[in-house]
Structures are given as C-alpha cells and as structure tokens.
C-alpha cells in the first residue's frame, strides 16, 4: 500500500505527520507535529475486539476457509478477508514454511 499523503484535520499541515500508536480497533493513529492534534485518518471497522480477530487468524491457519471462519465466529465474511490481509502485512518474514506457504497459496502475500 502506498503511503498516503496525510494532512492534519485541524491545521491542514502535511508535514511531520507521525505515527502515534493504534486505536483499540487497530487503526493507525497519527499525530501532527505542527499543532499536536492526534487523529485517525482511516478508521477501521469498529466493534470487533482484537482477540476475535486473532481467533479468526488461528482458525484460518488451522485450515478453515475464510467463509468457514466467518460462520464459526458469526462475523461478516468480508471482515475476515480484511483481517487476514491486515495480518499478512504484519507477519514477520521468517514464518514457519507451512504457514508461509499457506498464506502464499491463499494470495495473502505478494512475494
């Protein structure tokens, strides 16, 4: 994903917009060095706890399809797909080969 060109919602400065942790929903927060305001430019879908998302990842890596994971956890199928893509982005490069291979086969990695 390309780095978005962020501008502060308060002072509209585009320089020195730095990362500032994450929201409980997992969205990247930013802080404007010019005025000090904190904001979340791309809020993620709210309402799903981190442990539910991790549970989805585990079920998926155990061999369930995304649709099965969605049904098991009673969440939207598209949400599960989004979560898996998010996780794939943060997964370390030295994954165990079977997991890496599975993720690659599912198209989660662009290698």
Contacts of 50 (CB under 8 A, 6+ apart): 24, 26
Residues in 28-47 at the binding interface with Zn ion, rule: CB under 5 A: 32, 34-35
Nearest CB to Zn ion, comparing residues 35 and 99: 35
Nearest CB to Zn ion, comparing residues 32 and 69: 32
Residue 10 engages Zn ion in binding (rule: CB under 5 A): yes
Rounded distance between C-alpha atoms, residue 81 and residue 85, angstroms: 6
Of 2, 37, 43, which is closest to residue 17 (Cα–Cα)? 37
The contact set with Zn ion (CB under 5 A) reads 8, 10-11, 13, 32, 34-35
């Amino acid at each position: 994903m390309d780095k978005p060109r962020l501008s502060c919602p308060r002072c509209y400065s585009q320089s020195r917009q730095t990362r500032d942790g994450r929201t409980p929903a997992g969205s990247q927060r930013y802080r404007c060095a010019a005025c000090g305001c904190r904001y979340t430019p791309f809020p993620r879908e709210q309402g799903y706890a981190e442990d539910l998302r991790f549970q989805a990842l585990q079920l998926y890596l155990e061999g369930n399809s995304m649709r099965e994971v969605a049904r098991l956890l009673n969440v939207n199928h598209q949400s599960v797909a989004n979560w898996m893509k998010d996780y794939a982005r943060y997964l370390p490069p030295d994954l165990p080969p079977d997991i890496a291979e599975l993720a690659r086969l599912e198209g989660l990695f662009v290698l």
